[in-house]
Chains A and B, each alone.
Chain A
Amino acid sequence: MTAGLRIRVRGQVQGVGFRPFVWQLAHRFDIRGEVLNDPEGVLILAHGASVDPFVDALSCEAPPLAHVDAVEIADYRFDTIPADFVIAASVGQGAQTRVTPDAATCDACCDDIRGDDPRRRGYAFTNCTHCGPRFTILNGLPYDRARTTMAAFAMCADCAAEYGDPADRRFHAQPVACSVCGPTLWFEDGSGRLDGDALSLAVAKLKEGAVLAIKGLGGFHLCCDGTNPDAVAALRARKRRPTKPLALMGTEAHIARYARPSKQDWLHLRAPSAPIVLMSKGAALPDVIAPSQNRLGWMLPYTALHHLLLDKIAVPLVMTSGNLSGEPQVIDNDEARTMLADIVDGFVMHDRDIARRLDDSVLQTTRHGTMILRRARGLVPETLPLPAGFEDAPQTVAYGAHLKSAICLIKDGQALLSHHLGDLDDALTWDEFVKADADYAQLFDHQPEIFACDLHPGYRSSQHAAERGGDAVVEVQHHHAHLAACLAETGWPRKGGRVAGIVLDGLGLGSDGTIWGGEVLLGDYVGVERRAWLRPAPLPGGDAANRAPWRNLLARLDQAGMVEVADDILNDAPRALLRQAVERGVNAPLSSSAGRLFDAFAAALGVEGDQSFEGEAAMKLEAMAQRAPLNAEYAYPFADGDDGLDPAPMWDAWLGDQMTGTHPEAMAMRFHAGLAQAFAAKARALVISGEAQAVALSGGCFQNALLLELTVLALGDVPLLLHEKVPANDGGLALGQAVIAAAQALARR
């Protein structure tokens, strides 16, 4: 018997080149023994003189896509001294271990596609252990080639050799491929497949101003030359997306020129997740890409295909998801041919199937860190360790919201928030949602005891919960869930005490049956009290008030007693009818929504007509305010009324500004500052009085970086909890629902 160590490595350590990395380390430190994957992660049996530096290096030098959560060491006795260090066969069905998100092409692979080896030079599907597709090609676990959509491609002898060599960068890289054996790329149009180099044909088309569909990692993109306003306008018209900002893909040089990235922005852009990053505009691009916005969303090329395309065309490209507005992104070749036929002039196609639809992730950086706006490709399915106190949480599934839906699973003290699924009113998205529920449950071997959902019975996600969960359904109030999502991702312990949550949001059903959306909640995971709110106003026309900002202006001005002002500004609107609808309670429910107050104020500053996408008016208002110098000194006042924070004095002050000809940008700034200060004062008071330990900020309005900044400023020195990994919008709601339901179950034990 010989003494050795049994080393357990936990975390994201499978499918990321961890075993060959261990093998290489073992050879460097002259360690003998073996390494293998099992359901708990990676297991190493090691014998040698320098095990200590070997163990240190395991976490310090881990491969780029690995996340080591823990390295646990125990004694081990070998029967005989091992002759060598080997990679042993995997053990067990590894459903407990994580699946890695897709990763952007690494530098070494970028060198390969521009290098001399004919197998990889110009090859659009080049990848290695440190990069390439993962979740988007995954059909099942454990993660190996046979359970990916790469199973259709038999490796050539050269690829097989790379795959089998622990010293090679492509050792056990499941999607390994080359131009000899891997997927192929072609260009086609309505007449069929065209002869010739796919990307050269595509570039020629794009330069003529064409709109193309390009099959990517998690779906098809619609693509056109970002410097050609006519092409962008054509794309908009055909996609029926009049004004919503379009994302751009460009090289680092393009981004440096056309945007103003901060250091932090560069870090995000260059990360393996390669998200879309919203950044201030630099050199001018056609306004039609993002009308009335100060910022543009950019991403770097994240597959070899994208790199090769950009190398050839050398202009930034509009890259927006390939769908009709409101529908899920197309992933299947035949689906693309039928659904995108009227939108595009041609297709860049390939024959590697996409197993899972994943949109591009979107984020922005603010003075207070990173703000995720949409979680999808590159970020999912990374798990989030839950705070202390949730170790024994029962397996829980939560079904999120209605419009920005996502599902959350809790298991083994970890939360897994699904990719962004989208609007459940859309039939195809709804199918995706139901499929995703089964898919995630299977991939993560999840058997929920608790099914959490929103209180709103009209959310299709709530109806799904009722269908699946029966008696085990837990309904969670919308804004409590927003708050809890923030607590969970910032590591607030389950028994960490009460927190004041400023939740500024669109709409959510309140526990009193009215509609909330501008709240200060005091509480914890288990429960909250509503301690302050925006004075409720009617939503004339219900959901129609969400589309038409002016409806909210009418309601708020009337409420403030400024009927004549409303008459004056909204002289074309059907005011009489709507006022009667409000009076008679015909589809005009009361709501404390902060989002609708943003809409009202945007309308007051001249944002006209209906919104063509959610949040459009508020984004315009933020853009307007951002053009003014930051100024918290002059904020519009809100009154402390019997029925909540009353914006009437704010409207008064605004009217005064109007009459003195104050610049709209200044008024937009004063509005932001006023709202931020009114809510911050309420939350801060709860901390000062000792009732709350910290202040958390959540809800869709906090995607507004200026509002966030002004709120943080107004809160002063109180402990702050801010979203970073999970959206403040409804995309994060499922996480909050899940931890609330789990905490309530734990509290009952």
Chain B
Amino acid sequence: MAHGGGGKAMRDLIEEVFTDVFLPPGSEDQARLTSDALREPGAQLAFTTDSFVVAPIEFPGGDIGKIAVCGTVNDLAVGGAKPLWLSAAFIIEEGCEIALLHRVVASMKAEADKAGVRIVTGDTKVVERGSADQVFVTTSGVGVIPPHRDLAAETIQAGDVAIVNGVLGDHGATILAARGDMALTTDITSDCQSLNGLMETVLEAAPNARAARDATRGGLASCLNEMAEASALSIEIDETALPLRDEVKGVCEVLGLDPLYLANEGTLVLFVPEAEADAALAAMRARPEGQGAAIIGRAKAGHAGRVTMKTLFGGQRLVDTLVGEQLPRIC
């Protein structure tokens, strides 16, 4: 390839790919930004960053670019911030297909537009073949939390209700199917989506909502464990209430995987006071991102940090954070 070795040809090509995504295209090495939202007394700035590596780069329902936007937008949104600006940095493996980069960047742009955020600065680095897997993306995001909004897992109270906005495990199952040349002929697509719009709608309907988290890596199980830990409460979910696509359930059954641990890229869990649960649920369901919303459980006093699931058989199964790879335990 002529543009190998991080040579000039590749750099030119890459520049071409990225310039029209990053705004403003000014010559300064920084984005200069203002927003009215920031001027409101009591408003807070929210800032987050995340790196994205995913194989394959493209999969049904999205690609690494879309995830990189959604992931950072969602990290801001679940904290109650309105996402405004993103940065994007790319580590590109030498020899990576330029057409692929074009597609990734286009999907970032599309998702950013959809979510109403601007990608305002960025960077690219080309590394030697084998030092990366095609392309890695890091996005950082800035948003504004309006005054008097304080979403934090510490504020969850015993009796609060846990709601998810949609079916679990679609992303994880999609990646598994897309990755492994597995004989999985499925219609499952990744749930990868931005949730800032949904959050705004829900917070209007349930102004006393306590906290939300997006259930990405480690799945719902890890997310609930974090929240139980932070709130010093226990969380009890009901197996029969978990929204699961039959197909995902089936794949999990065959492969022996637990859908509670499958990754999601557009699924959050929200805790609201019981009095606002119905309103929050209805608000979610009114939006396309919340079609499959369901109440899955509640917070309880005692056993700080514990997550349990009432199983189909009536027992209370402990739901842990996954420690490393899951090895069989049954002797």
Contact = CB atoms under 8 A, between A and B. Distances in A.
A627 to B, nearest CB: 27
Using C-beta atoms within 8 Å of the partner chain, give the interface range for chain A: 35 or more
Contact of A587 (B257, B317, B323): B257
B176 interface: yes
Contact of B255 (A509, A517, A587): A587
Contact of A586 (B182, B314, B327, B329): B182
A239 B314 CA distance: 10
A428 B315 CA distance: 9
B328 A545 contact: yes
Contacts of B320: 460
B248 to A, nearest CB: 14
Contact of A577 (B182, B306, B324): B182
A240 B313 CA distance: 7
B329 to A, nearest CB: 5
B181 interface: yes
Given A427-B306, A584-B181, A589-B328, A543 B256 contact: yes
B329 A402 contact: yes
Which of B180, B306, B326, B328 has the largest number of chain A CB atoms within 10 A? B328
A730 B331 contact: yes
A413 to B, nearest CB: 29
Contacts of B330: 402-403, 506-507, 543, 546, 614
A478 interface: yes
A426 interface: yes
Contacts of B308: 427
B256 A425 contact: no
Interface stretch (A129-137, A257-265, A451-459): A451-459
A240 B257 CA distance: 24
Interface string B177-205: 00011111000000000000000000000
Nearest to B308: A427
A428 B316 contact: yes
Interface string A498-516: 0000000111110000010
Interface string A310-335: 00000000000000111100000000
A580 B328 contact: no
B254 interface: yes
B64 to A, nearest CB: 21
Contacts of A540: 256
A375 B36 CA distance: 71
A440 to B, nearest CB: 22
B331 A507 contact: yes
Interface in B200-250: none
A318 to B, nearest CB: 20
Contacts of A428: 315-316
Contacts of A543: 256, 328-330
Contact of B329 (A430, A456, A578): A456
B327 A542 contact: yes
Interface in B32-49: none
A586 B315 CA distance: 29
B318 interface: yes
A457 B254 contact: no
Contacts of B180: 580-581, 584, 586
A402 B328 contact: no
Which interface residue of A428, A460, A505, A577 has the most chain B CB atoms within 10 A?
A577
Contacts of A591: 328
Nearest to B312: A240
Contacts of B327: 456, 458, 509, 515, 542, 589
B40 to A, nearest CB: 45
Interface in A699-745: 700, 729-730
A577 to B, nearest CB: 5
A83 interface: no
Contacts of B181: 580, 584
Interface in B274-331: 306, 308, 313-318, 320, 323-324, 326-331
A240 B315 CA distance: 11
Contacts of B329: 402-403, 456, 458-459, 507, 543
A324 B331 contact: no
Interface in A200-255: 240
A457 B329 CA distance: 10
Given A541-B255, A577-B255, A581-B255, A325 B318 contact: no
A574 B254 CA distance: 7
Contacts of A284: none
Interface in A521-575: 539-546, 574
Contacts of B328: 507, 515, 539, 542-543, 545-546, 589, 591
Nearest to A700: B331
A506 B331 contact: yes
Most buried by B among A458, A459, A539: A458
A327 B329 CA distance: 18
A574 to B, nearest CB: 5
A732 to B, nearest CB: 11
B313 A324 contact: yes
A401 interface: yes
Contact of B316 (A424, A427, A478): A427
B330 to A, nearest CB: 4
Given A402-B329, A545-B328, A586-B182, A427 B318 contact: yes
Contacts of A542: 256, 326-328
Most buried by B among A402, A404, A543: A543
A206 B180 CA distance: 57
B68 to A, nearest CB: 25
A576 interface: yes
A724 B315 CA distance: 33
Contacts of A430: 318
A555 to B, nearest CB: 12
B305 to A, nearest CB: 12
Nearest to B314: A324
Contact of B331 (A402, A539, A586): A402
Contacts of A586: 176, 180, 182, 255
Contacts of B184: 577
Interface string B104-134: 0000000000000000000000000000000
Nearest to B177: A577
Contacts of B183: 576-577, 580
A457 B313 contact: no
B250 to A, nearest CB: 9
A545 B253 CA distance: 11
A325 B306 CA distance: 22
A457 B181 CA distance: 31
Nearest to A457: B323
A400 to B, nearest CB: 11
A508 B182 contact: no
Contacts of A544: 253, 255-256
Interface string A399-427: 00111100000000000000000001111
Contact of A325 (B176, B256, B313): B313
Nearest to B324: A457
Nearest to A326: B315
Interface string A186-202: 00000000000000000
Given A325-B313, A428-B316, A542-B327, 5 more contacts: A457-B324, A505-B331, A507-B329, A542-B328, A587-B255
Query: Closest 9 CB pairs between A and B?
Result: A541-B256, A544-B256, A506-B331, A427-B316, A576-B183, A546-B330, A543-B328, A542-B328, A542-B256
5 contacts: A460-B318, A580-B183, A581-B180, A584-B181, A587-B326
